[in-house]
Amino acid sequence: MKSRCLYAVLAALLLPATQAWAALAWNELSATEKQVLAPYAERWDVLNAEQRERLQKGAQRWQAMTPQQRSQAQERFQHWRKLAPEQQAEIRERYEQFRQLSPEQQERIRQRQQWFRELPPEQQQSLRQRWESMTPEQRQQAQDGAQPRREEALPERRERPTRDRMEQRRDFGGGAMGGRR
């Protein structure tokens, strides 16, 4: 009885290890996956299970992309390859830090990034210069969401008045016309 329990425990412990060891073989890939992963064909057997799985998932994502998305991905990859190894390591580290954030924090960062992308280039450059001139403490405060002094605050987006708001202003005596028509 004890030996059966011991074998069951050993099997449970070794099962994940054997699954990881039994990585996906090249001949198990689909024809389109092989086409996408052709640069890795000769060294596929020396890649570990995690690398193979990551490459296979990447190939599947690639197949699902539109031609425009593929073109953008190729441009980003070419840019990545031109970076120095130190820059790549720094980016990997930042990405890992990003992955450790809560989903809410990640979403906040994505929204701010999208907001920044929509700014005119001159404003983006101005904000970059301001960021670069900050001390590490000021940068940390900005990242933590601390409210900077008014003159240091990032410009807020103003909503354009809607027709309803303009009519409300007119009805209550506000606006440029002083409430008269």
Q: What is the DSSP string of 51-74?
A: HHHHHHHHHHHHHHS-HHHHHHHH
Distance CA 51, CA 43 (A): 11
Is it the case that residue 155 has pLDDT exceeding 70? Answer: no
User: How far apart, in whole angstroms, are the C-alpha atoms of residue 58 and residue 53?
Assistant: 9
For 13-22, write each residue's pLDDT tens digit: 544 444 444 5
In one-letter notation, the amino acid at residue 72 is Q
Quick check: 121 pLDDT over 50? Answer: yes
Q: Can you tell me the distance from the alpha carbon of 165 to that of 157, in angstroms, rounded to the nearest whole number? A: 17
Confidence class for position 139, pLDDT limits 50, 70, 90: confident
pLDDT, position 21: 45
Token reading at 168 = 């409300």
Q: Residue 175: pLDDT band by 50, 70, 90 thresholds?
A: very low
Q: What is the pLDDT of residue 143?
A: 77
- The whole-number pLDDT of residue 22 equals 54
47 near 55, Cβ under 8 Å?
yes
The pLDDT score that the predictor gives to residue 171 is 46
pLDDT of residue 176: 44
DSSP state of 24: P
The pTM (predicted TM-score) of the whole model is 0.49
